[in-house]
Amino acid sequence: MTTATLHTINTPDGPFTIIEDADGAVMASGWTGDVEAILARLAPASRPTELVEGRTDAAAAVAAYYAGDLAAIGTVPVSQPGTEMQRAGWAALREITPGQPLTYAEFATALGSPRAVRAAASICAKNAPALFVPCHRVLRTGGALGGFAWGVEVKQALLDRESGGSQVS
């Protein structure tokens, strides 16, 4: 049996729920108070068998991010099983500078596979610890937002915050 901690905090973009493993690494997170929606981001074999509500270490980083410390989320450990390419992609997402988003094509190139644009997009789509692995920093060619599991409104708000285009709250 695996036990994980569940914590929902309020943010300017709505409720933000975090599932953190026993080692303090974020397994999944997103802008919803619906625990089932967060669990659905995890492969069935990776889901904890028990959730305990409590404060997570990651919550402080989320609060710091929304207070203007955009680097705070990069200090939070994450736990995300996947293929070698997925793990490399998720690590690369954590290296994208806030306010300097990449297109899917640029992200594929950064991964060393310039023709693997669909694979790069899939890496973003399968990202469970949203915000901590900032897949919102990848855009369609031409700068269109593309999809985002938590809604394009949230994605736009995050990008605006990171580019200085909105007031930090």
Beta strands 50-53 and 26-30 are unpaired
pLDDT of residue 1: 60
- Report, as residue numbers or ranges, the catalytic residues: 135
**Residue boundaries of the structural domains of the chain:** 3-75, 84-163
pLDDT tens sequence across 44-100: 999 999 999 999 889 999 999 999 999 999 999 999 999 998 999 999 999 999 999
CB-based contact 49:27 (threshold 8 Å):
no
What does pTM read for this prediction? 0.92
- Tell me which CATH code domain 84-163 carries: 1.10.10.10
The mean pLDDT value of the chain amounts to: 92
Strands 26-30 and 14-20, by their bridges, are antiparallel
User: What's the rounded Cα separation, in Å, for the pair 102 and 92?
Assistant: 11
Question: Is the torsion defined by CA of 95, 96, 102, 104 positive or negative?
Answer: positive
- Amino acid, res. 79: S
Residue scoring higher pLDDT (169 or 21): 21
Q: How far is 14 from 122, CA to CA, in rounded Å?
A: 25
Average pLDDT over residues 15-31: 97
